[in-house]
Amino acid sequence: MKKVVKISQVLVGILFIFSGFVKADDPTGFTIKLLEYFAPDALNIPWMDRFSFTIAFTIPIVEMMLGFMILLGARKKLTLILLVLLELFFTFLTWYTAHYNKVLECGCFGDAIPMTSWQSFWKNIVLMVFIIILVIGNKYISPLIKGKTQNVILVILLAGSTFFSYYCYNYLPVIDFRPYKIGTNIKKDMQGTPDVVKFYYTLKNKKSGETKEFDKFPDNYQNDWTFIGSRTETIKKGIDAKIKDFSIASPSGSDVTDSILSAPGNTFLLISMSIDEANKDKETVSKINVLASDCIKNHIGFICLTASDQTQIVSYQKTYAPPYQFYGTDGTVLKTMIRSNPGLILIKGGVVKAMWHYHSIPSFADVNAQYLH
């Protein structure tokens, strides 16, 4: 029993740390996922929207700390109670959303390991079994470190977990699991690979009445055979496109996706899903405008992709006089591209070369020295 408890202790600890880490790595993405859960067509608690970021920031830290505490054997009674309560909540939530088909992807492991609600539910059932083993065999859980040293380590771990989540919120994920991460060839990942299929044809002989299946039509088959039906067999499963629904519409409404992604030179994409909700403090706007002006002077592309309507765009132009043009892109796609509003992405030949949060907009001299030369 002691060995089973130790194995369970390690598995539960690592899983909770990993689960918390991938959420803390992308607190904005986790916030977006929580808004899906709170929506009227899911849990129908839209009044919780105002707390979405606070919850998204807190839960990963709690998960990581519980993982560390169970591994260290610290605060055993409190840790086990919190593990049971948290896992009961997650199990019910994933069962409810799976049973009623409310949320297609649970978000338990962020974008690192996409899981359906049913997959997450069964994962939680297995995890609950390991936690129950820990509860039953809790006498075999002993602290690795005791006294004040344990308290100091827990405080350091709490501070580190909190700082990590705070940093990722303000300066983009440290490890990017999203489909537009640096190094991504957007145009290539939009294509995917189709299934390899083989066709079979069922024909009936006009003279004998025999029915036979062929993988290709016999020569002049109409003379001796009557077509009955056909079927297809997948020989090799294709690969779905990693990037879907990405498109860029010019100010006149024409599709310019291919021309922008195929341009051999560098192009800056300023991403703003909603201009009204974007950070518009004086320093941020100034840095963006100066960088855009320098890029345009040096014949380097600089455009803004937004889902905002023309009224919002015109209002922004009158107030902030941006030197760049605005292009249209789906809002959900823009939220996926970068966790910052506004955020900046540099592409070359359709390949993502770099990206910046609005807290770290670079100068032209810096990007020229590192990327453009």
Domain ranges of the chain: 2-171, 196-236, 257-372
Number of H helices, E strands in the chain: 12, 8
Tokens of 91: 């199990």
At 273, which amino acid appears? Answer: M
Where are the alpha helices (H) located in 137-202, listed in sequence order?
147-171, 186-189
Give the pTM.
0.82
CA distance 26 to 114: 14
SS3 for 348? Answer: strand
Q: Please, what sign has the CA dihedral across residues 307, 241, 197, 219? A: positive
CA distance 13 to 9: 6
> What residues contact residue 188 under an 8 Å CB cut-off, 6+ apart?
350
Contact between 178 and 111 under an 8 Å Cβ cutoff? The reply is yes
Local confidence pLDDT in tens for the 373 residues of the chain: 888 888 899 999 999 999 999 999 999 999 988 888 888 888 888 899 999 999 999 999 999 999 999 999 888 899 999 999 999 998 888 888 887 777 767 667 767 777 888 888 899 899 999 999 999 988 888 888 888 899 999 999 999 999 999 999 999 999 989 999 999 999 999 987 788 888 999 998 888 888 989 888 888 888 888 888 888 888 888 778 889 889 999 998 899 999 999 998 999 999 999 999 999 999 999 999 999 999 999 999 999 999 999 999 999 999 999 999 999 999 999 999 999 999 999 999 999 999 999 999 999 999 999 988 7
Query: What are the Cα distances from residue 94, in Å, to 123, 126, 236, 357?
Result: 10, 13, 33, 32
CB atoms under 10 Å from CB of 295, counted, come to 22
Contact between 292 and 322 under an 8 Å Cβ cutoff? The reply is yes
What DSSP string describes 201-239? EEEEETTT--EEEESSPPTTGGGTEEEEEEEEEEEE--B
CA distance 240 to 258: 20
Find the helix or strand (DSSP H, E) in which 303 lies.
Answer: strand 301-306
What DSSP string describes 27-93? HHHHHHHHHHHHSTTTT--GGGGGGHHHHHHHHHHHHHHHHHHHHHTTTHHHHHHHHHHHHHHHHHH
Which residue has tokens 């580190």?
A: 160
CA distance 129 to 118: 17
pLDDT at res. 191: 86
Domain range 257-372, its CATH number among 3.30.420.280, 1.10.10.10, 3.90.1300.10, 3.40.30.10: 3.40.30.10
Contact between 224 and 207 under an 8 Å Cβ cutoff? The reply is yes
Contact between 74 and 143 under an 8 Å Cβ cutoff? The reply is yes
What 8-state DSSP symbol labels residue 140? G
